[in-house]
């Protein structure tokens, strides 16, 4: 399995421990959008991440920044979607949580629920893939303490596993923000971390 398959932009519900503001000019303040949804989606939403890659011997390979933003909103077959800066990827919040449509131009993977919200500890549901049986997403923790460059949070942990129950990623998300950390793990049962993604900055409507 490849890194690209699991470099999913996952989201999840949470309570922020850090200082929360809806707007302001303080560059050290924490911006939080609509807390009734797990990912704050608006035409002003921008997430900046620090991505750290290591090899299987835990040797540092690269550190870089990755910016994800909402480009525009659109309607497809009567359904609203947000077009993101990720190539061929659409996002939307629905009543049961955060949905994604990956590779929508080729229609390889149908639109699907990525981060269930509201969440219940232990819940599981399928995550479709393009080349075989579905992976499984599990809500593994409701109050994980997460420290990232952007701040300290209590986050819900979404754990993705292969059909063979090998954990391949852990996503930590804050309600009204989205993903604050994601850990991608080597798919060989070694629990070797290959990529860590941590939130550096977030802005959205009203912040």
Min mean pLDDT across 68-72, 97-101, 192-196 is at 192-196
pLDDT-derived band of residue 57, with 50, 70 and 90 as boundaries?
A: confident
Helix (H) or strand (E) holding 184: strand 178-185
> What mean pLDDT is predicted for residues 119-139?
94
Say what the pLDDT of residue 9 is. Answer: 38
Condensed to tens digits (0 to 9), the pLDDT of residues 6-25 reads 334 333 333 333 334 333 34
Residue 190, C-beta contacts closer than 8 angstroms, at least 6 positions apart: 56
Above 80 in pLDDT, residue 108? no
In terms of Cα–Cα distance, which of 107, 110, 108 is closest to 131?
108
Above 50 in pLDDT, residue 73? yes
Say what the pLDDT of residue 206 is. Answer: 87
Which has the higher per-residue pLDDT, 51 or 12? 51
Say what the pLDDT of residue 78 is. Answer: 87
Cβ atoms 192, 56 nearer than 8 A: yes
State the distance between the two ends of the chain, measured CA to CA, in whole angstroms: 39
């Amino acid at each position: 399995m490849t890194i690209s398959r699991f470099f999913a932009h996952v989201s999840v519900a949470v309570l922020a421990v850090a200082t929360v503001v809806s707007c302001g000019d303080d560059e050290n303040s924490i911006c939080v959008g609509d807390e009734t949804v797990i990912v704050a989606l608006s035409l002003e939403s921008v997430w900046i991440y620090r991505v750290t890659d290591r090899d299987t011997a835990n040797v540092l390979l690269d550190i870089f920044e990755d910016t994800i933003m909402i480009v525009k909103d659109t309607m497809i077959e009567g359904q609203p979607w947000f077009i993101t800066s990720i190539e061929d990827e659409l996002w939307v919040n629905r009543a049961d949580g955060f949905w994604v449509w990956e590779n929508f131009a080729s229609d390889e993977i149908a639109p699907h629920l990525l981060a269930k919200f509201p969440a219940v500890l232990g819940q599981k549901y399928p995550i479709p893939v393009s080349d075989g049986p579905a992976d499984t997403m599990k809500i593994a923790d409701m109050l994980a303490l997460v420290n990232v460059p952007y701040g300290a949070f209590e986050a819900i942990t979404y754990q993705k596993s292969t059909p063979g129950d090998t954990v391949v990623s852990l996503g930590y998300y804050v309600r009204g923000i989205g993903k604050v950390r994601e850990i991608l793990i080597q798919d060989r049962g070694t629990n070797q971390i290959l990529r860590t993604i941590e939130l550096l900055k977030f802005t959205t409507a009203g912040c």
